[in-house]
Amino acid sequence: MFPGRWRFGSDRHGEVDLFTDRYDLSAETLSQAIRAAASEEPDADGSVLFGHLQGTVVGLRYYSGVVNQGEMVGLVRQPQNQYDRNAVMVANIYGNQVGHIKRELAAAMAHVMDNNLAKVEGVVHSGTKNSFTMPLMLSFWGKEENQNTVKENMARRGFKLNTGGGKATGTKPNALQHPGSLLKNAFDNLFDGLMESEDGEKQAAEAVGTPLLPHQKQALSWMCARENKSALPPFWERRGELYYNRLTCFSAKEIPERVRGGILADDMGLGKTLTTIALILTNFHKGKPLPVEKCVRVANEFFSDRRAVCLASAIIKCGGGGVGQSDKSLVLNSSNDKEIIAFHIDSEEGGESLYDFKYLRIFITSSQCLHLLCSMLPFHPQSQPCHVVFLCPYVCVCVCVCVCVQDQFEQHVRANVKLNVYLYYGAERNRSKAFLSSQDVVITTYNVLSADFGNKSPLHGINWLRVVLDEGHVVRNPQAQMSKAVLDLKGQRRWILSGTPIQNSVKDLWMLLAFLRLKPFDAREWWNRVIQRPVTQGDRAGLQNLQTLVKCITLRRTKGSEVNGRPLVAMPEKTVCVEQVELSQSEREEYELARNEGRNTIGRYVTEGTVLRNYADVLAILIRLRQHCCHPDLLSKTSLDLGAAATPAEMRERLIEKLRFVLASGSDEECSVCLDSVRLPVITHCAHVYCRPCIAQVIGTEQETARCPLCRSEIKTNELVEFPQEEMEEEKNTNPDKWRTSSKVQALMGNLLRLRCEDSSIKCLVVSQFTRFLTILETPLREHGFSFVRFDGTLSQKKRTQVIQEFQSPAADGPVIMLLSLKAGGVGLNLTAASHVYFMDPAWNPATEEQCIDRCHRLGQTRNVFVTKFIVKGSVEENMVKIQKQKQDLVEKAFGCRNPDRKTSRMDEIKALMEL
DNA sequence: ACCGCCGGGTGCC
DNA sequence: ACCGCCGGGTGCC
């Protein structure tokens, strides 16, 4: 039925056993080896095709792995092979060994593979007549600079790579005329129109206190279906007795593992968290709700003394008929220790029996504990079997800001429902696996998760019913510890919640698919070969496949989406305007002085070609100019005159000090590795700032000496200077007597006063990167009798919630203004009470501003939203806005290749800023 | 007969 | 493997 399909009779099994005895590579360890190799799969970006080669796979009869015509195979080096240290193993997509590469060819390939000169890929194009060997098309991919080395190496051993147009990849090369633009458009649309309305709506379980909006009921229905339905994963289809994968041409007898979960990529504010809470409560097992209320009564009855320490929990369905049926027997199959314990229960006559409960949760700790349980339940030694389902503990939700999600649980779950939600966070967190297993929901942060990872992490030892990644797009670098920690969580159902599923490129998608365990793309090699490379090379089919893939597992609606001709959510309008601010004469004079001085300095660096070496200095100059635009007193605390540095060490100290100052002032600086705002900033010895994980990756991937991505100086992990995320300036209380105003302050106050006259109930966000500026603004606000709160990074978790509640409360005498530091707070921050946003100073990253606006322009906002950005006319701020725009264009154009040349573009930016 | 040729045994790495 | 390779048997035409 499938040409070129081989299977071997059991008559040879004796040999196989003999063989495996000699060479111990059981199926388990083999697939582990392949998985390990696949997880270390390097990024294939920038790989070019060196050529093809027809090779031979031998030893087919010794292995059970079968291959279809057109199927891709994996090639794994086996340096430990006792017969030939050059051995190259051939395996199919599922990691079953098919055979080996012929000895002579393997010898040539081993050198290339071991030295990472090329990645060799195999595809079986044509079948074979015999059952001993088969032809295999090999293709060699690698960095341009290795091309000749590889070709010569292979040629020397008598293997000539064909560079002609032979087809060797699984998908035919099918380049587009204008890959860039078309690709960009298609990719933009990748997450569009993923509204699955056929599922209809689903009512949430009773325990959900907040009524769901229609689109949330749809999402709930879709999520339940994704968890319960048995549709084949994308690209799999049934062909007769077999399951066949269209893309990899792999076929299997067994039904491929389904993805129970997916990506909920609704826009921010559409209620992803609420929908997920509804899912947790509504779809427990067999589509039934989480048995919350009654379960608590049972638990109290039997375990009030908490003596049962739980290693696992089980749900026992007490027969379909409930009270009526008398004799039941239970078979518990504990997945932890594989023991199967059978026992029986009998119902009591009259009164409330266990069978009154449709579900009963029993905690099982160990067989002793189970015996304890048995002695407590009314068991009868001779009874009929009934159905028992063993389940794992419930949900692990990974989030950025714990408290927000916990609040959401409190908000959306009915008060009379006792839901055990545990915040796994903080130094005092309960690390007992038993305790965590007994919770309905465990919430933790990505940081805690990765800190625990590899260190007897209790969360990794639990088999969760459901794992949910909130703001899942934050994990996208597969190299990062955090990603590894996330991928290692065990769960039956897996969800990613994200308002922005793709931030930079196709590459970022892999992490999501790997988390969802979407076979076979969770292995990097298949993802690279089938999706990533074709897509980045402009292959239309590759893009189509990606679209199909994403469509199958994603639900995304935007604020503007319509369902059945009606808007999803009626969102109020948003108006953004720029208000130009004129500096006063004295301000202008001071500004020009600083500008000329800075321009001279930077101009000198430019001609000397030392801009990047003096990067911290340049940033300090820029930030001073930006501070001049806001308020002169922002500069007062800076003793940053260059002076004459005695030694290079002293010079470096000063540069680092300057950078600390730039960061401390709250400026939203950019990391040149990820091109995003710096998270967990660290300063290198050469005074450049990066996210800690980003630079750690740079250092980690470098073989010998790592070099700074900006200036190529040598960098070492132990020389990185930490910068506390929210380090604040020493004193906040500037002397109110000495207080003076500035043009920007005037501009803001003018707006606020005008607004108060028009409608005193309007609330405003006043946003600045400079927390000190917020302090300065406090004085005139008080003076004019505005009631305000302040929200910045220094606030404790507790204080944060308190401040937000205060601001959001509709009380008449409540605060009308929130002084907000640009970077403070998580993405989940809800500030819908405000409808006016004032940006006091422009940020480098326009997305940061957008995020800030979305905190009030989101679900629940009833008024139209007005955003005002103050920009000082004829200043560095104007140039920043221009660069913001250019950057957005650039990101759109340069889609697919993330980091064109940061050194050059950063230089250009600095020059443009200083008008050089 | 220090070769060629024949035909059986055999077979991944 | 309806191959190649190895090594033993064999040997004019």
Q: Is the CB of A15 under 7 A from strand C?
A: no
CA distance A474 to A828: 13
Distance A697 CA to C5 C1' (A): 52
C-beta atoms surrounding A562 within 10 Å: 11
- In the 573-612 segment of chain A, residues within 7 Å (Cβ) of strand B are none
Nearest nucleotide over every DNA/RNA strand to the A99 CA, judged by C1': B12
- pLDDT of A615 reads 82
Who among residues 495-524 of A has its Cβ near strand C, under 7 Å? none
**CA→C1' distance for A133 and B1 (Å):** 38
The integer distance in angstroms from the CA atom of A105 to the C1' atom of B1 is 38
Which residues 39-78 of A interface with strand B at a CB distance below 7 A?
58-59, 62
| Rounded distance in angstroms from the CA atom of residue A56 to the C1' atom of nucleotide B3 | 35
Q: Do the Cβ atoms of A122 and A73 come closer than 8 Å?
A: yes
Q: Is A102's CB less than 7 Å from nucleic acid strand B?
A: yes
Structure-block tokens of residue A512: 């999501």
Question: In this structure, is the CB of residue A130 within 7 Å of any atom belonging to strand C?
Answer: yes
Q: Tell me, in Å, how far CA of A809 is from C1' of B6? A: 102
Residue A645 phi, psi dihedral angles, 5° rounding: -80, 130
Q: Which nucleotide's C1' atom has the smallest distance to the CA of A88?
A: B13
In this structure, the strands spanning A261-264 and A554-555 are parallel
Q: How far is CA A598 from CA A156, A607, A634, in A?
A: 60, 14, 17
Say how far apart CA A615 and CA A672 lie, in whole Å: 12
In whole angstroms, B6 C1' to A754 CA is: 111
- Per-residue pLDDT tens digits for A846-902: 888 888 998 898 877 889 999 999 999 999 999 988 887 876 666 555 433 444 466
pLDDT, position A576: 96
Measured in angstroms, what separates residue A87's CA from nucleotide C4's C1'? 21
Provide DSSP, A847-875: HHHHHHHHTTSSTT--SPEEEEEEEETTS
DSSP bridge partners of A706: A715
Q: Give CA–CA dist A563/A579, Å, rounded.
A: 37
H or E stretch covering A753: helix A743-758
Question: Is strand C less than 7 A from the beta carbon of A104?
Answer: no
CATH of domain A736-910: 3.40.50.300
Question: Bridge-partner residues for A75, per DSSP?
Answer: A90
**What secondary structure letter does DSSP report for A640?**
-
**A56 CB inside 7 Å of strand C:** no
Quote the tokens at residue A262.
């997916």
Give yes or no for CB of A100 within 7 Å of strand B: yes
Q: Which residues does chain A have with pLDDT short of 50?
A: 1-29, 38, 166-182, 293-391, 393, 639, 729-730, 894-900
Q: How far is the CA of A130 from the C1' of C3 (A)?
A: 10
Residue of A895, A889, A636, A886 whose CA lies nearest to A775: A636
Q: Beta carbon of A133 within 7 Å of strand C?
A: yes
Q: Which bases of chain C are contacted by protein, using any atom under 7 A from a CB?
A: 1
pLDDT attached to residue A333: 35
Output the distance from A527 CA to B11 C1' rounded to whole Å: 37
How many angstroms separate the CA of A42 from the C1' of C4? 39
Number of Cβ atoms within 10 Å of the Cβ of A733: 7
Structure tokens at A766: 């006043």
Helix (H) or strand (E) holding A773: helix A771-783
Strand B at less than 7 A from CB of A87: yes
Give, for A313, the enclosing helix (H) or strand (E): strand A312-317
Distance of A121 CA from B10 C1′ (whole Å): 32
- Only one residue has tokens 């060479």, namely A23
Q: Is the CB of A623 under 7 A from strand B?
A: no
**Which residues are A56's β-sheet partners?**
A135
CA angle A446, A449, A455 (to 5 degrees): 155
Q: How far, in Å, CA of A42 to CA of A116, rounded?
A: 10
**Cα A81 from Cα A529, distance rounded (Å):** 27
Fold of domain A173-290+394-558:
Rossmann fold (3.40.50)
Q: What CATH superfamily classification does A585-722 receive?
A: Zinc/RING finger domain, C3HC4 (zinc finger) (3.30.40.10)
Protein footprint on strand B: which nucleotides are under 7 Å from a CB? Answer: 12-13
Q: Is the CB of A113 under 7 A from strand B?
A: no
- For strand C, is any atom closer than 7 Å to the CB of A132? yes
Our measurement of CA A62 to C1' C9, in angstroms, reads 33
Q: How far is the CA of A433 from the C1' of B3 (A)?
A: 80
Output the CATH code of domain A10-156. 3.30.70.2330
Q: Which string of DSSP letters, residue by residue, matches A832-846?
A: TTEEEEEESS--S-H
Output the six-digit token pair for A894: 């340069």
Q: Which of residues 625-654 of A touch strand C (CB under 7 A)?
A: none
**CA A781, CA A745: separation in Å to the nearest integer?**
10
Protein CA at A672 to nucleotide C1' at C7, angstroms? 69
The 10s digit of each residue's pLDDT in A63-121 is 988 898 899 999 999 999 989 999 999 999 888 999 999 999 999 999 999 999 999 99
Domain with CATH 3.30.70.2330 in chain A: 10-156
- Residue ranges of chain A assigned to CATH 3.40.50.10810: 173-290+394-558
Residues of chain A with CATH 3.30.40.10: 585-722
Q: What is the pLDDT of residue A294?
A: 37
- C1' of C2 to CA of A8 (Å): 20
Q: Which nucleotide is nearest to A106 (CA to C1')?
A: B13
Residues 6+ apart with CB under 8 A from A562: A568
Q: Which pairs with CB-CB distance under 8 Å and at least 24 residues apart come from A245-248?
A: A245/A93, A245/A520, A247/A170, A247/A171, A247/A530, A247/A545, A248/A71, A248/A72, A248/A93, A248/A170, A248/A520, A248/A526, A248/A530
Residue A48, classed as helix, strand or coil, is strand
